[in-house]
Amino acid sequence: MMMVIMKLVLLVFAICRLIATVGLTLDPTELLRLELKGQLSLDPSDVETASVDFGRMHRAEPWGVLHPATGADVSRLVKSAYESTHGFAVSARGHGHSINGQAMTANGVVVQMSDGKPGMQRNIVVSQESMYVDVWGGELWIDVLSSTLEYGLAPKSWTDYLYLSVGGTLSNAGISGQAFNHGPQITNVFELDVVTGKGEELTCSEESNSELFHAALGGLGQFGIITRARIALEPAPQMVRWIRVLYSNFSAFTHDQEYLISLHGHQDSQKFDYVEGFVIVDEGLINNWRSSFFSPKNPVKISSLNVNGDGGSVLYCLEVTKNYRESDADTIDQEVEALLKKLHFIPNTVFTTDLPYVDFLDRVHKAELKLRSKGLWEVPHPWLNLFVPKSQIAEFDRGVFKGILGNKASGPILIYPMNKNKWDNRTSVVTPDEDVFYLVALLRSALDNGEETQTLEYMSDQNRRILKFCKDAGIKMKQYLPHYTTQQEWIEHYGEKWTQFYRRKMEFDPRHILSTGQRIFKPSFNPSSASW
C-alpha cells in the first residue's frame, strides 16, 4: 500500500512539475483518477521514444506515455480527454514505424500499444474451427504468425515487414505481394474492438456497429484506437519457391505483372501466390538489403546481361512465389515452368531459391539486422508511397524512374499492381478509380556520408518533384501512408469520400482528440503550434 501511495505522490509531483514547466492548463487529477491496470509513465526515456519515429524527420514530445494492460485502460484515458474541460490529444503508437510523425503529439498522451519486442505476446486466441485469430491491437505480426503456425495456420495477407503492429497496419491498409489475390489486410478482418474518440470501447463487424468497423479500417486512427482484431486464417504452406526475373522493357514488365494478377480467380496450381516487382536504377540496388536474394559471393551485374531495352540503364525485376507443402514438391517445377513460359523477361535471367514459408515472410527482418549492425537503420527515411492508376503507369515510368530519379537510389523502389475488386470501398482508404492500380514505393534512407544524392534534403526535394510531376501531368495518383500539412490537401486526397470521412469523424471523435499527428482535423482544445 505504501508503495502505491509513493507512486501516486511521485506522479502528482511529475505532472505538476510538467505543468509548471510548459504551462499546461490541466488538472492533474484528470489523469490520476483513471484507475489504470497498466502504467501512465512520465519517464524521460519513455517520452523520448514516443517523440520520434522510423521516419526520423519529425519530433514532438508528449506529456506522458500510457502502457495499457487492457482495452479498458485505453478507454479510460480517451474518455478522460473527451470529458476534460481543457482537453488533450491521444495518439496510438505501435512499433513506431510512421514516417511523418503521424503517431506523435505534443499536446497529450501517446498510447504505447506495442513495446516492439517479439515474443511479448498477450492472449492470442486461435480458432481452428472458424479459421481466425483474436489478437491485441499492439501485437506484432511476427508474433501472430508464430502463434497461428502452432495450429498449421497463418493469416492470408501480409506486409513485407512483420515487425509492425496489427492495429497500425489495419489503420492504413496492410499490403504486400499477396494483395492481388487476397486483398489488403483490412479486407481479411472479421471483427474489431475499437475505442472511439468518446472513450467508448465497442465491438464492431460487418453486422454490428458496421459504420465504425469500416471507418476504423484504413482510417489512420481518426475514428478510434483498435484494441483487438479478429483476423482471417488459411492453412499455412511449409515451403516457398521464390523466383526473380529481369526486364529491360517496361511495357513487357507491366504486361506480365498485370497478366499474373488477372489469374487471381484460378486454381492455386495455375497462379503464383505472390506478385511484386522493383525498379533497378543503378547496379547497387540489385544486390542491396531489400533485394538480398542473390548470393553475395556471386552478385548479379547489370553490365553482364547485355541488356538493350527501352530503359537505358533502368531494369525491372519481377518477384513471384509459389507456396507448397513438402509432399507436393514434385509438382512445383511443372507449375512454375508453365507460368514462366507465358512471360516475356530477359532470357537467362531466372533466379530461384527455395526456403521455408516463415523465412520468406520474415526476409526483411534479416536485412534490418544487417543494417542495424552497420548503424544504417536509425537514419531518416523520406519514404514516398503512391497508388498510380494502370492507365498512367507508363507515363510515371518515363517521368520518374527514367527522369527525376536519374541513376541513383538509396533504397528499394517497389512497383506492383493490385486488383481494385479486392479492396472494400466501404473502408476509409482511397485508391485510384481504375480496375488495376500500382503501388509505387520509394523506400529510401538518407545518409550523412558526404554524397549529395544521399542526403535528406536531396531526397525530400526529389519527392516534391515527383508529386509536382504527377500533378502537372494529370496523373490521378493517391498517396498511401499519406502525409499532408493542410486540411484542403486532405479534402483533395479523399475526394468524393471526404463527406463520409468528415461525418464519421464528427460521429466517433467530435472533439478531434485522436491522431492529431495526421494533421487532418484541428483539435478543439487549441493546441500549440508545436503539433499543428
Contact 344, 252 (CB under 8 A): yes
Q: Which residue has the cell 531518416?
A: 380
- Collapsing DSSP to helix, strand or coil, 236 comes out as coil
Q: HSE, CB side, 13 Å, CA atoms: give it for residue 65.
A: 23
Q: Which candidate, 51, 136, 153, places its Cα nearest to that of 101?
A: 51
Strands 224-235 and 189-196, sheet pairing: antiparallel
Angle made by CA atoms 115, 35, 522, in degrees to the nearest 5: 65
d(CA 163, CA 118): 8
Q: How far is CA 443 from the centre of its chain?
A: 12
* Four-CA torsion 199, 72, 34, 215, nearest 10 degrees: -20
Catalytic (active site) residue 258: no
Quick count: other Cβ atoms within 10 Å of Cβ 496? 8
Known active-site residue 97: yes
Distance CA 504, CA 222 (A): 9
Catalytic entry in 27, 30, 58, 160: 160
Pairing of strands 89-93, 274-280: unpaired
Dihedral sign of CA atoms 484, 379, 371, 406 in order: positive
* Nearest residue to 213 (alpha-carbon basis) of 198, 194, 188, 230: 194
Going by their DSSP bridges, the two strands 132-136 and 125-127 should be labelled as antiparallel
- Which residue in the list 97, 381, 483, 512 is annotated as catalytic? 97
Q: Quick check: is 448 catalytic?
A: no
Spatial CA neighbour of 504 closest among 223, 198, 239: 223
Q: Which of 276, 362, 397, 509 is catalytic?
A: 276
User: Which class for 424: exposed (0-12), middle (13-18), buried (19 or more C-beta within 10 A)?
Assistant: middle
Which active-site residues does the annotation give?
Answer: 97, 160, 276
